[in-house]
Structures are given as structure tokens and as C-alpha cells.
Chains A and B, each alone.
Chain A
């Protein structure tokens, strides 16, 4: 892979972040969605009876944490889908593709611009959750959570990996779709398989082990890197420009 053109990538990131900030739909997605996915696990944690068996406790806490892993999937899937379809809708792809930016840099810039807010939101929400539990939850429940060291680590590690996956899927889908909603729904569905796998582990259907987590994480990382190539090839200017025209006229 040739070296990255950081000037151009930065230009893309700056523009994307500005655009997100001023787009009400995106702004609401970035604020409301995390709260929804924070509220449910929080309620669950506060409803758990400390007298429950430790196996039961583990299961419910695992589910709560898993639920929060939806944030790094849903937020980036939505943003990524918008980031391509939004260009199509405003007719900006055509002037953009006639500038001397490499496809790969353009796509990396877009992906980074999704990754940055997605990670910020996911980690903030996670931190908020832990802080609240630590301060206000029943000490038995709280200590049960903080004893799940590997689970918490998994959470931290899988957040960017899942987000990466969701971004690529979102961009790949929306490179071909012409409607924001269709793109978002498709990309949301498409980004669920890895979370299903994580779910199976969390719910002890697949026996969790450190090895398994490492293999899974490595696999996701490899997929994320390969996806850059794949998505780049989907960004065929001819298809993007003329495909859009065909739909419009």
C-alpha cells in the first residue's frame, strides 16, 4: 500500500465532522441513540436483585454490557451510510472525484471521520455506565461487574473493531444505494453478524476464552484492513457518477 496522503485525509475529516455537527438527523443519531442504549442496561443493572445466584448475575450483566456494544455498531453504520449517500444527494461526488485525491485516501478520511465520533460516543457511554454503577448500584452488583476484567477488556477492545466493521459495511452498502434510509437499514442489518458472535460468547453459548477473544479480534482486524481494499474498489467513479444519474432522471 502506498503511503497515506495526510493533508488530503485531514481535509476530508475536517469537512465531514463539520457536516455531521450541522446535520440535525446525524446529530440526533449521535446523541439519542447512545442514551437509548445506555438507559436499558442501566435499568437492568439497577433491577438485578443482589440475592440472585452469581451465575444469574453474570448472565444479566453480560447481557447489559453486550447491549452497550450495539452503540459502536449502530452509530457508525448510520454515519457511514449517510456519509456516502449524503454526497450523492448533494451532487458533490462528481466535483470531488475530479480532484486529485486518491480513492483510498478519500475513503480512509471518511472512515476516520466516522470512527472518531463513534469511538468517542461509545467510550463515553461505557465510562458513564461504569461510573454510575460504581457510585450508585448495589455494591454486590458493582463488584460483580468490576470482577469481570476480561469482559470489560473485551468491551474496550471490540468497540473499535466492531465500529470498523460497521463503517465498511455501511460505506459498501451506501456506495451502491441511492437512498439514505435504505442504506442505513441495510448497513445496520449487515453489521450484526459479528455482534452475534460476540453475543454467543457473552452468553456462554460459545465457551469464552482469552484465546477465542484474541482470534476473533484478530479476524475482525484482518477483515477491517481488507475491507478498505474492497470498499475502494466499490468506489468506481464511473458507477458512482452515472449510476446516480440513472436514478435521478
Chain B
């Protein structure tokens, strides 16, 4: 790993500084999505030495040209990307998006190298600009920038990429197990969460998510295993010290219904022993857009608003690690969207968030990395990574009529490793590179006289990964 090179990509905005609504852009290296980048962020991506290509895509079909590059060991290459200067003042963004969708070319995002190739250890010009991005031989320096800088570097938290120079992770969990008598809530769970990371803990009901949060939140003692929370070993004696540095938003927000929003927050500010309680409460309420409801009684609030008060409460003490237990469960889509927005805002501020959910879309939308739990930890990784890991790449082929001799057609194509039929005229081909295979398949099919309806790469959502894992589990432990 120490010989890896690094691509350092900076995203410049439309000027609206750090807008929390800014959409994530996907960073694509060699055709694979390897990460995502927010407005005004710098992403550092480890790459193997050699030739690669870099591309940036927005969720809304804005794409950049594909830029080829070559790196040597330990080299750090700088790139910057930004939307083309179609000012949103003249053209509203939705028109830009509409045009992009219609025209769909690479006009819309500018991507270019910022630095000539440099050897490692020498700060890049970008690092100079930022002042907080240190030239680091391993490219593993991933501390969020200090508040003084508008830009920040977000950890693309890939456990393997964490170098030794990195500060201790926000959470380290080792073989943690909790049993309630005979019943196992979770077993042998191990993972790490980096500072500034939004870590998704995904699992069906009863998977042990809440119990994990309670254990890490010092409410209940693990049966075995160990953990470090916010840098402090989890033990009964360290409970107070850990609680000073974390905040937990439980599954049900737990507000005093006869107190106002402000009174609720004031009480908790008191419990955290905070100074300047008034200011803290005001800031927290502004962060969740509740300043105008400050004197409403909590008993009269909707579920979505209560959840927001819960978030404000979790923010009060400026915690090192925030635990959010199913923050959107039971909310309607609009309220859930607002909560997602707030969480994205927190991510931009660099708060480490441990978020449990049973909703895949939520994990995929909000989290840098996801762990899938069903009593035992099934897997940990970036959502895209999980998808790639779990599924071989495949082409889906549909023909008008079933092929008379499918085996002969497909076996004759060198880039097709294997095939199976999913019904009449529907085939799944296992391939190593869909882009090479697709034209070959098309040619062969046409050559054999078939009417081709569709050829495309199989797309897997996180949902597929999830179901696949849960299925594997069910097969392994039939109940």
C-alpha cells in the first residue's frame, strides 16, 4: 500500500460557498466509481501506479471529459473540476440539467490537471493553497481542515488506505458481542470508523443495530470484545469520559413533552456542563432550522420536528462522534428528506456520524461507508465497492425470439465467460469487461440472425447486495 500513488481532486463550486444542498459528484477512475466529492471539497484517492483515466459525473447527467493520466509510485497528481461557466444567475440550474440531459455530452463539467507531475513529499501547489493539506508520502493525511479554511479534505475512508500517520480512528470495534441471556443481540462485530466519516450501519429489524449503539454509547456493557470510542477504551470506568465526547440520538427522540424546545435543549446543555448555554442552544436550533419554533412545547410537535429537535440536542455539545439510531424511521418522505439534508450538512462540517438504518436508499445516499449487520457483521465497504465485490460483472441480453442455439452463439464469443438463461429470449452473460464484450455479443447475435432487443450491463443496487447477504445468511443458518 505504501507504494500507491494518489489522485487529489479538488471540486470548485459555483460560488455559493459550501452550499449544503450541493449535489455529490461521483469520481470515476478507469470507469469505476471510486468515491464522491462535494462542492469545495478535496478528495484523495489512492491509485496503483500506471495508466488510468479520471472522470467526474454529477448525479444529474453532468459529466466531464475523461482525462487520461499516468502516475508513478508515491506520486501525487492534482486535478480540479468545476461546472462550466454557465452562470446559474443567467440560467437556472434546472435548465442546465435539462440541457445536459438532452445533449448529454461532456460539456458540462470541466476537469483538468492542476499540477505538473511531482514526486512525493513535495507539497503540491494545491497543498500550498490550502495550507491544511500536507504533502504526505503515503497520501494518507486525511484530517479535516480547520475551521479557518473554506475547503476541507474528506476522508475517503478506506480502512486499507489509512496510513500510520493518521490520527486514531473515531471508533474502533473489536470482536464485540452482546448477549441477553441466551439471546444474541450481535456477535463478533469488528470495524473502524474514521474521523469525519459518515458510517452506515445497515441491517433488518432485530439485527442488533440499536443494541450496538447502546453498547458504544456506554448504556449497556458488552458481553465480550473491546472497543474504543472517540479515542477512549470502552469500560465502565471510562463511561463519563466517553459520554463527554459523544452524543446519541436514540430511536425515539425522547423529549420532555411539557417543556418547550428551548427548555429541552437548555436542560441537556446543563447536563453536558456547557458554557454559554443560550448561544449553544441558538446555534443548534439554527442548524436544524427550528429557530422560529424555539418556544413551542415539544408535546405539540410532529414526529419529523421531534426528530429534528433530537438532532439539535445531539449537536449541542459539539461531539466527536454522533450516534444516530434510525433517524428517519417512521417519518414521511418529506420529513425524511429534511433529516437527510441535515445529516449531509453535518457531514460537510466534518462531524463523525454513526448512523443506523434499515433503509438501503438512506445508507446509499448518506454514507461514505456501510456495514451490513445481521447479528454478525456481513461486510463493510463503500456502497459502490460492496456492489462490485459481490457481483461479477454481467451483460443482460434480450432477444425478440429465443435463440435456437444459444450455447453455440455465446460460447463462440471469447469475452464471454459463461451464460445463463433467465427466461425465453433473456440471457445473462458473465463477462470480465462489459465494454469489450457488448459489441462482440451484438455482432455475434446479429450474425446468427437474432433480433436484438436489448444489451446492457447489469446494474446492481445496494439493495441487491443487501438481499444477497441476508440470503446467504439465511442459507447458512436455517432457522
Q: Which residues of A contact B (CB under 8 A)?
A: 5, 7-8, 10-12, 14-15, 18-19, 22-23, 90-102, 237-238, 241-242
B249 and A95 contacting across the interface, CB-CB below 8 Å: yes
A100 and B244 contacting across the interface, CB-CB below 8 Å: yes
Residue B403, interface by CB 8 Å: no
Please judge, given known A-B contacts A94-B248, A238-B221, A241-B220, whether A100 and B271 are in contact too, CB under 8 Å: yes
A95 and B248 contacting across the interface, CB-CB below 8 Å: yes
A19 and B254 contacting across the interface, CB-CB below 8 Å: no
What residue of chain B has the Cβ atom nearest to residue A92's Cβ?
B254
CB distance from B295 to the nearest CB of A (A): 13
CA distance A206 to B79 in the complex (A): 93
Central interface residue in A14, A15, A93, by most chain B CB within 10 Å? A15
The residues of A that contact B271 with a CB separation of less than 8 Å are 8, 11-12, 96, 99-101
B247 and A15 contacting across the interface, CB-CB below 8 Å: no
The residues of A that contact B144 with a CB separation of less than 8 Å are none
CA distance A64 to B244 in the complex (A): 52
CB distance from B139 to the nearest CB of A (A): 36
The residues of B that contact A7 with a CB separation of less than 8 Å are 270, 273
The residues of A that contact B214 with a CB separation of less than 8 Å are 94, 241-242
Could you tell me how many residues of chain B have their Cβ less than 8 Å away from some Cβ of chain A?
A: 34
- Chain A interface mostly: helix
CA distance A94 to B220 in the complex (A): 11
Q: Contact mask B241-273 → A, CB, 8 Å, 1/0?
A: 001101111101111111100010011111111
Please judge, given known A-B contacts A11-B271, A100-B273, A237-B219, whether A94 and B263 are in contact too, CB under 8 Å: no
CA distance A91 to B248 in the complex (A): 13
The residues of A that contact B270 with a CB separation of less than 8 Å are 7-8, 10-12, 14-15
CA distance A15 to B248 in the complex (A): 20
Residue B180, interface by CB 8 Å: yes
A238 and B255 contacting across the interface, CB-CB below 8 Å: no
Please judge, given known A-B contacts A11-B270, A91-B250, whether A19 and B256 are in contact too, CB under 8 Å: yes
CB distance from B392 to the nearest CB of A (A): 41
The residues of B that contact A238 with a CB separation of less than 8 Å are 219-221
A15 and B263 contacting across the interface, CB-CB below 8 Å: yes
What residue of chain B has the Cβ atom nearest to residue A240's Cβ?
B219
Q: Which residues of B contact A (CB under 8 A)?
A: 180, 214, 217-221, 240, 243-244, 246-250, 252-259, 263, 266-273, 310, 313
What residue of chain A has the Cβ atom nearest to residue B268's Cβ?
A99
B256 and A90 contacting across the interface, CB-CB below 8 Å: yes
5 A-B residue pairs with Cβ-Cβ distance under 8 Å, sorted by A, are: A90-B254, A93-B254, A98-B219, A101-B271, A237-B219
B218 and A98 contacting across the interface, CB-CB below 8 Å: yes
The residues of A that contact B256 with a CB separation of less than 8 Å are 15, 19, 90, 92
CA distance A241 to B250 in the complex (A): 11
CB distance from A56 to the nearest CB of B (A): 49
A97 and B272 contacting across the interface, CB-CB below 8 Å: no
What residue of chain A has the Cβ atom nearest to residue B249's Cβ?
A95
B259 and A18 contacting across the interface, CB-CB below 8 Å: yes
The residues of A that contact B255 with a CB separation of less than 8 Å are 90, 92
CB distance from B227 to the nearest CB of A (A): 15
CA distance A91 to B256 in the complex (A): 9
CB distance from B398 to the nearest CB of A (A): 47
The answer, among B246, B259, B273, B310, for a CB contact under 8 Å with A98, is B246
The residues of B that contact A12 with a CB separation of less than 8 Å are 267, 270-271
CA distance A7 to B275 in the complex (A): 11
CA distance A4 to B133 in the complex (A): 45
CB distance from A153 to the nearest CB of B (A): 38
What residue of chain A has the Cβ atom nearest to residue B273's Cβ?
A7
The residues of A that contact B252 with a CB separation of less than 8 Å are 91
A98 and B257 contacting across the interface, CB-CB below 8 Å: no
B267 and A242 contacting across the interface, CB-CB below 8 Å: no
